[in-house]
Every structure is written in structure tokens, then in C-alpha cells.
Amino acid sequence: MILHVDMDAFYASVEQRDQPQLQGQAVIVGGTPEGRGVVAAANYQARKAGVHSAMPAARAKRLCPEAVFLPSRLDRYAEVSRQIRDIFHRYTPLVEPLSLDEAFLDATGSESLFGSSMEIGQQIKQQIADELQLVASVGVAPNKFLAKLASDLEKPDGFVVVDAGGVQQFLDPLPVARLWGVGRVTGQVFEQLGVETIRNLRQLPQETLRQHFGEQGQHLWQLAHGIDDRQVVPDREAKSVSHETTFAQDIDDLEALRAWVLELTEQVVRRLRRHKLLGRTVQLKVRFSNFQTITRSTTLPQPTNLTQVIWKTADRMLSDRLPANHLPVRLLGVGVSGFDHSDQVQHTLFVDEDLAAQTNLDQAADQIRDKFGSSSIGRGSGLLHQAKHTPQPNPDDLPPSPKR
């Protein structure tokens, strides 16, 4: 069984715990009371007023005028995140963090020591509450996909177990939009097909799915049947870091796509730098409007995590290595792999002033973003087409998992 542990309103809860006078108040992290910036997180009280993350602070202020606005303190959240991770590691070494506030655990091997996966899940939830005064929602299920759905089902303070025999019963009534990869466009196709719930989807012939969604149809079919054989892979073994995004509307303007490549690159390199990883291979993933998906990759002579280098490399692939006259683009992804675990440093003959300057630039930008939020500073090229919303980390990438 796999566990998915997801902290409830993590940033805001940490703030409320650290500052007891905030108890009982609506708390918004990120943005300022003057209405500048973007909401990074909101507690449930603020959410009741309609506030959610990535919302402009000005709008949040209008919806919830009594809310307390706090600057985000990523270092603090990272510290608490490590304490949570320490609790996980009491039960199993197989912990795969997805972000500061959620992780997959595979505790199957520890069941003879600590009890069933369900009991382990309860103990973890209890210890997080006792030792850290924070609330986690936990899902326990036969695989990652189901565990993540389960932890979300009764949030906040949820605890949902899906056992092997109950998978279909659990999935069937859920709306089809709950499936990973079902966004607006896919949703419209489902609407035309009269598919509302996962049950409806499951009853479609595989052939129909393939006709409408190509390769991804097979994947949707598997998810609808609760099939997902990705392993839990501890972070230190991460083989790649990637981000991808599916557009609300297919894009065929090269300049807009280039701006998106920059935006995705920024997400990837920040994660690389946070984990102090240097990668050698840059990958670009493109899905066209007919669901045909291609990937292109370039291997660099030197491993790097510089924004400029990785962006230029991905940008070159976008400009030079897509088929001529291609269809509009539905999904775009940027990834870096081939991490350098070398125990030696190659000295250089001369200081590459450009690389040195880029390193300083990245450091300064990271510090600004840590303090004022990820949209506080950006490169001009990324602003060109309001490439603003935050693409999600590819849940696929940390592990070298089977394709999903």
C-alpha cells in the first residue's frame, strides 16, 4: 500500500502555529495588505471567503477584508518540512517528497515492524499533530494515483483508506476531472461524449479513447481502472526534474511558446538550485493538438543549473527541432536530467565572466523570489505573453517511472 500525506494549508498553518495570536483569523501568505503580489497560500477560513492560491492579493483583499496578510517565509516552511520528513523516515526510507507539503511513502516493507499501512498512516498523522501541532490529510491506497485522490477526498484533516477490493467503488462516482491530465480541452471532449464520472469513462471502449486522445487515451483508461504502477522513489535518487503545462487554449505562436519555455525553465532551475543539483541533459516535451507527443533532448558538455543556459538550450530545440508547419501546441514541458554526482571538480582555465554573472543573477533572483514570491521578479521575455500561472511539477518526474 502507498501513503500520500498532504499538509493542510501548510504555509498558513505554520504561521498560525508560530504566532498564536493568529488563531481563529483568516490568514493569507504572500502578497501585501496593500493588495500587491499574489497569494501563495490561504488558510481554510480565508478559503471560505473564496480566496485561493495564485489569486492576486488585491482580489483576495476584496473577498476577505479582515484577513491577515503575511510575507512568505520559505526557509521556515522548508525547516518544518524537514521535521515532517523526519517523522516519515521513522517508518520507511521510501519517501518521495513532491513539494514542501506533500509526499508519497511506501511503507509496505515496514508493516511487520509498525503494523499495517493504514496503522502507519494513522501514527504519522498523530505524530505530526502531537509533535508539530500541524494537521495532515492522509490517503492510503494500493498505488500513488489512488493515494493522492484519497488524501484529497476529505480534506482538511482527512484520513481515507482505499483497499484493493474497493478501488472501483471509490473511483466510480468521482467526476472525470479528478483524473490527472484532464483539463479544459479534454473535459470538453468528455462532455461531448457524455462522460461525467469515472464510471462513464471506464465503460467507454478503449478504442474510443484512443481515437479521441491518442496515446493518452490508454493512460486515461488505466487511471479509470485504478491502474498506476509507478514506484515511490526517494528524492535523492531523483533522475530528472521537469515541469509541464497544458494550455487552456492551444498555442501556435512561436513567441508565446518561447515565453512559456522560459517560464517552465524558471520553475525547473529553481528546483534544481534548491536541491543543489546540476544536470547535463535538457529535454523539451511538446504535445500537439492531435495529442501526438514528441520529446527532444540536448546533452550539454558541462552540467549546469543556470537559467540562461538551460533556457537557451530548450529554446533552441523549440525553434529548430520541431517539425515544420506543426499543429498548435497543447502541452509544453521542460526537464533536466543527467545529474552530476561527481566527487571531483573540473577546474577551468579562465573565469567565464558570462557564467559568473549568470550565477550571481540567478542567486539574486532566487533570493528575491524566496522573499517576495515567485512572480516578484522575472525575465522580460517571459512577460511577453503573460506566461504567468504556475505550471505544476510533473508528478512523473522524480522517479524514473513508467510513462503515464
Residues in the chain: 404
Residue listed under C-alpha cell 550565477 = 359
Write out the binding residues for another protein, residues 62-101 only, by CB under 8 A.
none
**E strand or H helix that includes residue 235:** none
Write out the binding residues for another protein, residues 207-266 only, by CB under 8 A.
none
Nearest to another protein of 75, 320 (CB atom): 320
Distances in whole angstroms, Cα of residue 150 to Cα of each of 100, 120, 147, 230, 376: 19, 16, 5, 17, 34
Contact between 308 and another protein per CB under 8 A: yes
Nearest to another protein of 21, 342 (CB atom): 342
Nearest to another protein of 112, 346 (CB atom): 346
Catalytic machinery residues: 102
Amino acid symbol at 349: L
Contact between 143 and another protein per CB under 8 A: no
Packing angle of the helix pair 215-224, 206-213 (nearest 10 deg): 140
Nearest to another protein of 253, 340 (CB atom): 340
Contact between 352 and another protein per CB under 8 A: yes
Contact between 301 and another protein per CB under 8 A: yes
Gap between the Cα atoms of 222 and 144, Å rounded? 13
Nearest to another protein of 236, 324 (CB atom): 324
Gap between the Cα atoms of 79 and 235, Å rounded? 16
Among 72, 313, 374, 394, binds another protein (CB under 8 A): 313
Stretch that binds another protein, among 155-163, 257-265, 329-337, 352-360 (CB under 8 A): 352-360
**CB count in 10 Å sphere of residue 195:** 22
Gap between the Cα atoms of 373 and 365, Å rounded? 11
Residue listed under C-alpha cell 490527472 = 180
Contact between 276 and another protein per CB under 8 A: no
Stretch that binds another protein, among 78-86, 203-211, 309-317, 393-401 (CB under 8 A): 309-317
Contacts of 21 (CB under 8 A, 6+ apart): none
Contact between 58 and another protein per CB under 8 A: no
Contact between 192 and another protein per CB under 8 A: no
Q: Which residues form the interface with another protein (CB under 8 A)?
A: 298, 300-301, 308-309, 312-313, 319-322, 324, 340-350, 352, 354-355, 358
